[in-house]
Amino acid sequence: MKRLLLMSLLLVPVFLFAQQKTASVVLQPDQARLKISKHIYGQFAEHLGTLIYGGLWVGENSPIPNTKGYRNDVLEALKKLSIPNMRWPGGCFADEYHWMDGIGPREKRPKMVNTNWGGVVEDNSFGTHEFLNLCEMLGCEPYVSMNVGSGSVEEMAKWVEYMTSSGDSPMANLRRQNGREEPWKVRYVGVGNESWGCGGNMRPEYYSDLYRRYQTYARNYGNNRLFKVASGASDYDYNWTEVLMKNIGNQMSGISLHYYTVKGWSGSKGSATQFNTDDYYFTLGKCVEIEEVLLKHMEIMDRYDARKRIGLMVDEWGTWFDVEPGTNPGFLRQQSTIRDAFVAALSFNIFHKYTDRIQMTNIAQVVNVLQSMILTDGPKMLLTPTYHVFEMYKPFQEATNIPLTITSEKMTIRNKEVAVVSATAAKAQDGKVYVALANIDAVNGQQVSVALGNIAPKGVSGRILTAQNITDHNTFEKPSVIAPATFTGAKIQGGQLQVNMPSKSIVVLELSM
């Protein structure tokens, strides 16, 4: 009897606080116009911590199974994401990187100290050939960041020639001497990185003039046409965007924007795994604040570029917490929980709405750094919850966005109203319609009604990503604590989609036509 009474008392909080809430989503398929560029799902690989060495690259002589030096387990995992592009070599590292140190026989390449990230020795064994060959193996486009902060115009011009020229020219012939006969296709180049900070601490007026000079000598060779990205603003620096749009204008193909979901830049950023519900909601509130930031930057761009020719490239985004205890503070290694998965899903749900201007985004970063897809430790590897969101959202690449409206309970976070339910929908190239829903409520489930308009599906199937606790995460000992599972809580009823979502869950539904 006492045992039954104790069990009843333990269950009381669940009945008191866990409730089934309701939300509604109305799709507007007749207004579907914008294609969701696959480049929204870009990755970022900087020479930082163990991302390159130990994460992507182990060398041909490593006991870790590899193909030409690239570790097989990571390669296979990344191939499953259909990565559209990858940014390299930085980040802050890009503006101290001199590309000629990273070509030729590896044993003869000069070493350097990575002063930005941990003061470790960089042996340059992973350079231009290694990166561009990796992109070919993954079937993705390279996005190369040029050194403007400490490099010269000549250095940049020669690098472009080395990578893309097929002519009888000095740099093309040097590439051939180093084992690559045909040029690579390199479309995306960044002219500097964070030039307002680690890329040179410049004023926007100065950088604008410097950009105009550098981009002049970034030549097109043969059929290779460069998409030149100017080093844009951080977060709320709208003046930087204003000055660059005014002073550079159509001499750039795109302008970058960096936005991190971070508690603050001074003091503790908070633990990636030890946090309470208030911390959880604060992070998600900071995440969705990106929409307001995007709208303000895009409004400035629209004044100078009404035809939306210049792309907005959110080429650094994601969570930033304190490093894992016991690791090098300069390596930025952090774990990933369901909270990080929500940051990915909520961000995609926002990006999809503005693809008339947003042409690319790159999460920071791909392996072992910040909000990564993958964590490795020697021969061990695991997939993070963020990886699973990227994999679940694959059908949205190159799909046509379906506008929608959401009616949902709201909560006040960071003095702003944040909807508990977020959604996105699109018609894929195979004719199927996909709907993604995210319920950020840490306690309550949601009964979501989705009005489909003129969409008449024959059936629905789905997958779900959720966790028992908001701090749950995958470890090398338990790598599948958070992983996608088949979702059976959706049905078509009365011309609508009825979805029974658990708390803290992300669901992607496929509507068969």
Catalytic residue IDs: 194, 316
* Amino acid of residue 381: M
In terms of residues, how long is the chain? 513
φ, ψ of residue 238 to 5 degrees: the values are -75, -25
Say how far apart CA 465 and CA 474 lie, in whole Å.
13
Element (H, E) at 79: helix 72-79
Which residues on neighbouring strands pair with residue 450, listed in sequence order? 25, 497
Q: Are 212 and 251 within 8 A, CB to CB? A: yes
Cα distance between residue 229 and residue 193, in whole Å:
10
Q: Output the 3-class SS for 218-277.
A: CCCCCCCCCEEEEEEEECCCHHHHHHHHHHCHHHCCEEEEEEEEECCCCCCCCCCCCCCH
Contact 348, 388 (CB under 8 A): no
> CA 113 → CA 118, 462, 511, distances in Å?
9, 48, 52
Distances (CA, A) of 382 to 69, 237, 291, 375, 471: 19, 36, 31, 5, 17
How far apart are the C-alpha atoms of 149 and 194, rounded to whole Å? Answer: 9
